[in-house]
Structures are given as C-alpha cells and as structure tokens.
Amino acid sequence: MKDGRVRGTLAIAAGLVAFAVVLAIVDRLTPEPKGPPSSSYATAPAGLAAYASVLQRSGIPVRRLRTPVAKRAPRAGETLIVLDPDVLEPKEAQAIGAWVRAGGRLVAGGAEDASWLDAVLDAPPAWRPADAAARGTLVPVTETAGVRAVRAGGSWKDLGAALPAIGPPRAPFLVTAEAGRGSVALVADATPLQNRALARGDNAALGVALAAGRPVAFLETVHGYGVARGFGGLPAHVRWTLLGLALTALVAIWAVGRRFGPPEDPDTDPPPPRVAYVDALAAALARAKEEAR
C-alpha cells in the first residue's frame, strides 16, 4: 500500500511538472497579439503597445493608470492619453476636466463618441467621419514638431476656439485648445499611433510630439483595466495555468485512488502481520520435516 502511494505521489508530481512545461512551451511558440483597441497594453494591430515603447525609447517615462482619475489624479506635469475609450462615466470626465484646467495636458480622441469632452472644454469640436487620406501640417506648434504629414481618417468640425494643427483646415485631423491653465490635443483618428501604422511616414514622430516632452500616463481604466488583487490580479495565462494544474492534480489523485481499491470493512478481521505469517509458515515447514523423518 505504501509503495503504491509513493508511486502515485511521484506520478502526480511528474504529471504536474510535465503539464506546466507543455503550457510554457505552447505559450512561447504561439504568442498571439491581444488587447483592446488603443490600449497601451495591447499588442494587437489596433493596440498602442508599440507607441508606449517608442516613447520610452525616446526617453519619455510611461505609466499605465488603472485607477480612475476621479479617485487618483495623474501626476503634475504629465501628459494624460485617453484614446478610443470604451466607457467614460460623467464623474470620470469631470475629474479629467478639472485636472486639465488645473494645469494638466490631455491627448484624446479617436472615438466617434466625443461627448465626454464637454466636461473638459467649454466648446469642444464635434467629430465627423472622413476617408483615410494624407493630412499635412498646418502650423508649427509643439504637437507637430518633426511632422510633415500623416495618413488618417476622421476629422473635426465646429472648431470654436480650437486651433487646427494638421489639416485640412476646414476638417482637421488634429486640433489643439486651451482649458484653464492646461492644454488639450485632439486627434480624430487613433490609427496613426496604433501598432499597425506607427512605423509609417511621420506617425512615430507625431506620437512623440504629442507627449510635448512630458512623462506620459495612459488611462487604461477606459479599456477595462482596473486594480485587481488576489487570484484576480494574476495575468490571465497564469490563472489558466493554475487551473489546469489543479485539474491535472485532481485527475491524477482520482486515478491513483482507484488503484488503492475499495475501503476496508471495519467489521472484517484484518489479515495477520506479515512477520507472524512468515513465522507460522516456518514453524509449519519445520514440523513437516520432523514428521518426514
């Protein structure tokens, strides 16, 4: 019984190790781009992971914010980037607006629904669709340093006090505006900053210019990322690995347990110890030899 349990334990341990090794190899050999559009975590074509990397290589510090601005404002002197937000609650928009007016810098846009900008600017421009085309620089401002032209879709209308920075003049792709003591740069399309297009033309230069020489903070709560603790705070592939290991252990224990056999009936007399059995057998053999003589 003990030998069987030892072998079973070793088999379980070997199975768990083998399963973990297989998962690690599969994860290494078959990485898949993933992540929501315009998230700095996303390695998918529409993600901004490459943009974040370009900023860091340019000497610009990068942070990802997973706590709402309404609970914790960005640091002073940072450029806050909010592109293609999935959900942005009014309370969060108001917190962003208050932070900008107090001296913050915001780079936003990309999404068709730009209504949340009402909490940031007194008269924000309105987004409208436009075919992708080459857009040339109109004025030499901070946001266009090193940028001659980019290819993008979408445009802004009803500019109000906003300044068109990358054209065409009547339907610009990039506009800038002041809000209190802060500044805002609005892009009508996030595509030039996404992984699939960042290496084209002056797109990477545009991304660096939009930072305006400040540290950058990507707001990731608008893409579904939040602060998680405990088991939920682990990366998804780690959680699946742990669940797989647990399932393997249960299957192995079940399989070994079946080889142990059914439980013994407490009302049945157990067999004698093996030593007593050997002694009794030796005595019987000795008697048999004496009788043979």
Min mean pLDDT across 109-118, 174-183, 241-250 is at: 241-250
Report the share of the chain in percent with pLDDT over 90: 61
The Cα 9–Cα 19 span in angstroms is 15
On whether both 98 and 115 belong to a single domain, the answer is: yes
Look at residue 158 and tell me whether its pLDDT is greater than 50: yes
Asked if the structure places residue 39 within a domain, the reply is: no
Among the candidates 223, 257, 280, a domain finishes at: 223
On whether both 219 and 86 belong to a single domain, the answer is: yes
The pLDDT value given to residue 107: 98
The pLDDT value given to residue 243: 72
The 10 Å Cβ neighbour count of residue 153 is 15
On whether both 170 and 284 belong to a single domain, the answer is: no
More confident residue, 255 or 156: 156
The pLDDT value given to residue 229: 46
On whether both 86 and 214 belong to a single domain, the answer is: yes
Among the candidates 202, 223, 244, a domain finishes at: 223
On whether both 67 and 90 belong to a single domain, the answer is: yes
- pLDDT tens digit string along 249-289? 676 666 655 555 566 566 666 666 676 777 777 777 777 77
The pLDDT value given to residue 204: 97
Asked if the structure places residue 43 within a domain, the reply is: no
The pLDDT value given to residue 1: 47
On whether both 285 and 183 belong to a single domain, the answer is: no
Distance of CA 42 to the CA centre of its chain: 6
- pLDDT tens digit string along 53-80? 999 999 999 999 999 999 999 999 999 9
Asked if the structure places residue 249 within a domain, the reply is: yes
- pLDDT tens digit string along 93-131? 999 999 999 999 999 998 778 899 999 999 999 999 999
On whether both 188 and 258 belong to a single domain, the answer is: no
Kindly report the pTM of this predicted structure.
0.70
On whether both 160 and 79 belong to a single domain, the answer is: yes
The pLDDT confidence band at residue 87, using thresholds 50, 70 and 90, is confident
The Cα 2–Cα 125 span in angstroms is 77
Asked if the structure places residue 41 within a domain, the reply is: no
Question: Residue 231: exposed, middle, or buried by beta-carbon count in 10 A (0-12, 13-18, 19+)?
Answer: exposed
The pLDDT value given to residue 206: 98
Print the domain residue range for 149: 49-223
Look at residue 240 and tell me whether its pLDDT is greater than 70: no
Look at residue 247 and tell me whether its pLDDT is greater than 70: yes
Asked if the structure places residue 35 within a domain, the reply is: no
How much is the mean pLDDT over the chain?
84
On whether both 17 and 155 belong to a single domain, the answer is: no
Q: Who contacts 144 (Cβ-Cβ below 8 Å, separation ≥6)? A: 137, 138, 165, 166, 174, 206, 209
Number of domains in the chain: 2
Report the share of the chain in percent with pLDDT over 70: 73
Q: CATH number, domain at 165?
A: 3.40.50.880
- Look at residue 70 and give its three-state secondary structure: coil
On whether both 201 and 246 belong to a single domain, the answer is: no
The pLDDT value given to residue 23: 57
Look at residue 245 and tell me whether its pLDDT is greater than 80: no
CA distances from 238 to 73, 85, 86, 218, 233 (A): 31, 27, 26, 24, 10
